[in-house]
Amino acid sequence: MHVLVTGGAGYIGSHTCLHLLQSGMDVTVIDNFCNSSPEALNRVQALSGRSLHAVQGDVRDAALLDQVFQRGQAIDAVIHFAGLKAVGESVAEPTRYYDNNVAGSLSVIQAMDRASVSTLIFSSTATVYGDPSSEDLPLRETAPCGFTLSPYATSKWMVERCLADLQLAQPHWRIACLRYFNPVGAHHSGRIGENPRGIPNNLVPYISQVALGMREKVSVYGNDYATPDGTGVRDYIHVMDLAEGHGATLEYLGKQPQGTLLTLNLGTGQGASVLDVINTFSAACGRPIPFQVVARRPGDVPVLCADATLANQLLNWQATRSLSQMCHDSWHWQTHNPQGYDT
């Protein structure tokens, strides 16, 4: 099987490329490296002992996509990771986010149509659930969606809606929208991992930099939520579990000759609070993590936690790596690559 991976040099994309190569699949990547480094792909190839074909370019470049689809061995499926993902930035620059995430996805879908490729995995997000009511937790895929809190989340929801309409109009399409919860961790080798530019927005990359002494302390955004310890609860999932979830989804889609539209949560089903993560990371790295409770971060919700039963049942896949493993692997990556791929 030959898979085109858009955004394959990014955090989740690079781990997924490694898993696909190790599973014997052939991989072509298109990435404009706006939030990643070609070095990630060098390391993926070194780790797997296999080569992939990398194209530098933008998914909104229709002519380039046509070239990619026409070149060499036919492409069987597309995993579309390419997109912008910073929630706060999307509030400040909504049109840039809609252009990249919505127009970019339409460009990929239309190029697939021209090339008669109709198997697609789309990277969606738990933020499509907005601020869920407590009776909807843990979240099943049927929980209300679309009352989104940021242009980022709206952009993902718009593409999900577009894909549902496409599958209705052209039922032979095999589409999976995967709603990721909070991906963290890194490949156990410490060779690939998350490479945030500037000050990290997300909790685990920030904690990693505090542990390394690059930053003074973690700001805990609020301890007055209606959660067991008052801090926000999330469903953290190891990035390699997520990568394997993509492999399992490709296998599932391949067995659906009639076409299908699948919408799945990829999470562990276990919630962890901000303080749980700080304590687990501290145990993993063997040093205290200084923190201070500050005001809530605008746009945060108290709890986002998946019911992952459907993915477990349909894909025969389950997240197996613990929060402790996620923290160990993040720390391993961080200590070996303090400046990410620029180290």
Least distance from ligand WQD to the Cβ atom of residue 66, Å: 29
Tell me, residue by residue from 221 to 250, as one string, x for binding to ligand WQD by CB under 6 A and - for no binding: x----------x-x----------------
Shortest spacing between CB 201 and ligand NAD, in angstroms? 10
Does 152 qualify as catalytic in the annotation? yes
How far is it, in rounded angstroms, from Cα 150 to Cα 126?
Answer: 12
User: What's the closest the beta carbon of residue 15 comes to ligand NAD, in angstroms?
Assistant: 8
203 touches which of ligand WQD, ligand NAD, none (CB within 5 to 8 A by kind)? ligand WQD
Instruction: Tell the smallest beta-carbon distance from residue 123 to ligand NAD (Å).
Output: 3
Tell whether residue 129 is a contact of ligand NAD (CB under 6 A): no
Contact stretch for ligand WQD (CB under 6 A) within 57-65, 71-79, 216-224, 255-263? 216-224
100 binds ligand NAD (CB under 6 A): yes
Which part of the chain contacts ligand NAD (CB under 6 A), choosing from 55-63, 245-253, 278-286, 291-299?
55-63
Choose the stretch contacting ligand NAD; rule: CB under 6 A; options: 6-14, 160-168, 217-225, 247-255: 6-14
- Applying CB under 6 A, which of residues 85, 174, 191, 332 lies at the interface with ligand WQD? 85
Catalytic pick among 11, 97, 129, 152: 152
81 lies in the site for ligand NAD, by CB under 6 A = yes
The verdict on 285 binding ligand WQD (CB under 6 A) reads no
By CB under 6 A, tell whether 232 contacts ligand NAD. no
What are the residue numbers of the active site? 152
